[in-house]
Chains A and B, each alone.
Chain A
Amino acid sequence: MKALQAHQLSKTYRKSKQPALDSLDLEIDAGQIFTMLGRNGAGKTTFLRIASTQLLPTSGTVTVLGLDAVKDAKELRGRIAMAPQEAETIYPLTPRDHVLLSLRMRGMEKGEATKRAQEALDALELTEVADVNSDWLSGGLKQRVIVAMVMRTDADLIFLDEPTIGLDPVNRRRVWDQLTRLKQSGKTIVLTTHYMDEAEALSDSLVIINKGKVMASGTPRSVKAAVTSRTTRVDVFDKFNLSELGAFGHVVTIAGRFRVLTDAEAAKRLGDEAVARNASIAISPVTLDDVFVDIVGEAERGEENGR
């Protein structure tokens, strides 16, 4: 069953000539964690805002949980929840107040809301600061408060716009655990992130968008396999120059060193050559990060050449 279907979805903001979304088609299965990847301004937040009934599209349709996000918004709003990007806590409320406010405004009875608020605070390790003025919390704690606000709602589908931004690796994993638990309880999670490891670790399926268009979609593994035959990456630290490495595959310069994206056979040849030169290299499978840079970079290069 599909939790979300977008068909030819476009959005052009009034003061912009470029579309934020450009005839976007995508489908999300129910009970999945679905991730949207893209550069800043790629259209991820615009999509989330349209699907969560906050913004009207210019054209196209979005069906969420079988309901039209434009025509059936009122009915749909009872079944979704949203944690927006860069949300801030409200002074002088405490983390507990925030979670309770979120649950109570959705019509949850006080006793149940109190119980669930405690669960959400415990799950995100906010118990110790549960009754502290949110203004005194660190940025990471505040971000967890925002996530906690939607964690224990009755919503069937939860939108999270960059939910782990500003969190340290330990707390990012804590949020991942909770999102996985939500999925196991039958909820659908749609999130955006800039962290490729997060997308790879969490997502059942994902989409890479660039300038409002879908560049690739599928499972993390299928996206990696489908979009590139370059399955291996070789980080070269010394004793090679750019033109030499070009013979082994696609070369990317990262912080003064070279990364060669290539297939296993060429990686082996490069490895042999490195041994012969006594060069330092590291060989590993390509990550989603490499694929993302490859896809988005390729699209940008294509546009530049077309000009």
Chain B
Amino acid sequence: MYYLGFTPMVRNPLFMAFVFSTPFTLLFILFVASNGTALPYGLAGALTMITTELGLFVGTDLATYKLQNRFQDMVVASPVSPLIYMFGVALSELIFGAPALLILFGLIAGQGATLGALLSCLGVVILLWITTTSLGFFFSAYAPNTQNAFIINGFITTMLSVLPPVYYSVNVLPSFLVPLAVVIPTTEASSLFQGAIGLGYSIEPTSGFAALLAATFIMLLLVSFRMKWRET
């Protein structure tokens, strides 16, 4: 975590700027275009997008360590367990995003969110992070090269955190798209953030939380079954 997260962040702060760039750009556009009224939606969207990015970046990192640096080969032939390695890489990625997350939590608190609301946001961030990290692990195992890993990462990030109702409410979607949107974990997460910020829940919070929990569980299961530590 120190060598793969903290050290790169200190030596090259551009890593951090990269994490900030897209979610905060979208937040800024929403803020300006709505004359400030859509700021809460922007905050919920940015929090969802950053958490999603941080999880999916893990996949890109793992693909790079495996296919380009061959570092994973060294790790496999060492006492480090797959779980520790993955957890280490995932936490390293979280370090890059920690400043962005802190800023967003500060802005959400500034919108009048209660401590309970902030804690519930934190819980949602953790669940979404585990879900998207698992997704990152999963595709890293199948990425044939690092270029593809970057492409897949960018594509999934857009599909999960720009297109679905993440920066906007699920209620504004045409009704035939709603069932499709609610099966996406980022929709549930953003809806829970929107509710915590005081925008009202577009999906009933208990079912939203349960759906997110189920997505987390399914992704973890998928990873544990399909993750390749030793190649066949």
Determine if A88 is an interface residue (Cβ-Cβ < 8 Å): yes
The chain B residue sitting closest to A51, CB to CB, is: B77
Residues from chain A with a CB closer than 8 A to the CB of B79 are 77-78, 106-107
B-facing residues in A68-122 (Cβ within 8 Å)? 73-74, 77-78, 80-93, 97, 100-102, 104-107
Residues in chain B near residue A150, CB distance under 8 A? 74
Q: In the complex, which range does the number of interface residues on chain A fall in? A: 35 or more
Known contacts A54-B231, A92-B7, A92-B12; A106 and B78 CB within 8 A of each other: yes
Minimum distance in angstroms from B74 CB to a CB of chain A: 6
In chain B, positions 218-232 with a C-beta closer than 8 Å to chain A are 230-232
Closest Cβ–Cβ distance, residue A306 to chain B (whole Å): 32
Query: Do B71 and A90 have beta carbons less than 8 Å apart?
Result: yes
How far apart sit A100 and B2, CA to CA, in the bound complex (Å)?
11
Q: How far is the CB of A65 from chain B (nearest CB, A)?
A: 13
Asked if A227 is at the interface of the complex by the 8 Å CB criterion, the answer is no
* Complex: A14 Cα to B7 Cα, angstroms: 39
- B197-232 interface mask toward A, CB cutoff 8 Å, 1 = contact, 0 = none? 000000000000000000000000000000000111
CB pair A159 B77 closer than 8 Å: yes
Q: A87 vs B74: C-alpha distance in the bound complex, in angstroms? A: 9
A residues in contact with B8, CB < 8 Å: 91-93
Is A133 in the interface zone, CB < 8 Å from B?
yes
- Asked if B111 CB lies within 8 Å of chain A CBs, one says no
Task: Decide if B69 is an interface residue (CB 8 Å cutoff).
Answer: yes
Docked complex Cα distance between A33 and B68 (Å): 28
In the complex formed, the residue of B with least CB distance to A87 is: B70
Establish whether residues B230 and A88, one from each chain, have CB atoms under 8 Å apart when the complex forms: no
- Are B69 and A77 closer than 8 Å at their CB atoms? no
A105:B80 contact, CB within 8 angstroms = yes
In chain B between 72 and 104, which residues have their CB closer than 8 angstroms to a CB of chain A?
73-81
Contact mask B6-21 → A, CB, 8 Å, 1/0? 0110011000000000
B76 CB contacts on chain A under 8 angstroms: 52-54, 77, 82
Instruction: Tell me if A149 counts as interface (CB < 8 A to partner B).
Output: yes
- The answer for the CA separation of A266 and B74 in the assembled complex, in Å, is 50
A84 to B73 Cα, complex, angstroms: 7
Contacts of B4 in A (CB 8 A): 90, 101
Is A279 part of the binding interface, using a Cβ–Cβ cutoff of 8 Å? Answer: no
**B155 CB-CB contact with A under 8 Å:** no
Interface size on B, residues (CB 8 A): 23
On whether the beta carbons of B232 and A90 are closer than 8 Å, the reply is no
Residues in chain B near residue A80, CB distance under 8 A: 77-78
Cβ contact within 8 Å between B70 and A86: yes
In the bound complex, CA of A91 to CA of B79 (Å) = 24
| B74 and A88 within 8 A (CB) | no
A55 CB-CB contact with B under 8 Å: yes
Tell me the minimal C-beta distance from B120 to chain A in angstroms: 36
Task: Please indicate the chain A residues that have their CB under 8 angstroms from the CB of B69 in the complex.
Answer: 87-90
Asked if B31 CB lies within 8 Å of chain A CBs, one says no
Cross-chain contact A14 with B232 (CB below 8 angstroms): yes
Cβ B74 vs Cβ A53 within 8 A: no
Contact B230 A87 (CB under 8 A): no
Is B3 among interface residues, defined by CB-CB distance under 8 A? yes
Nearest-CB residue, chain B, relative to A75: B79
Closest CB-CB distance, A72 to chain B, in whole Å? 13
Which residue of chain A has its CB nearest to the CB of B15?
A92
* Interchain CB contact under 8 A, A93 and B230: no
Q: Tell me, yes or no, whether B28 is within 8 Å of chain A by CB.
A: no
B77 and A82 within 8 A (CB): yes
Given A54-B230, A77-B78, 16 further pairs, Cβ under 8 A: A14-B232, A49-B73, A56-B230, A56-B232, A77-B80, A82-B73, A82-B74, A88-B68, A90-B4, A90-B69, A92-B11, A101-B3, A102-B74, A105-B78, A106-B78, A133-B11
> Would you mind naming 25 contact pairs between A and B with Cβ atoms under 8 Å apart?
A52-B73, A52-B76, A54-B73, A54-B76, A54-B77, A54-B230, A55-B231, A56-B231, A77-B77, A78-B78, A80-B78, A81-B74, A84-B74, A86-B70, A87-B70, A87-B71, A87-B73, A87-B74, A88-B70, A90-B4, A93-B7, A100-B3, A105-B75, A106-B79, A133-B11
Q: Which 7 A-B pairs have the closest CB atoms?
A: A82-B77, A87-B70, A84-B70, A84-B73, A78-B79, A52-B77, A101-B3
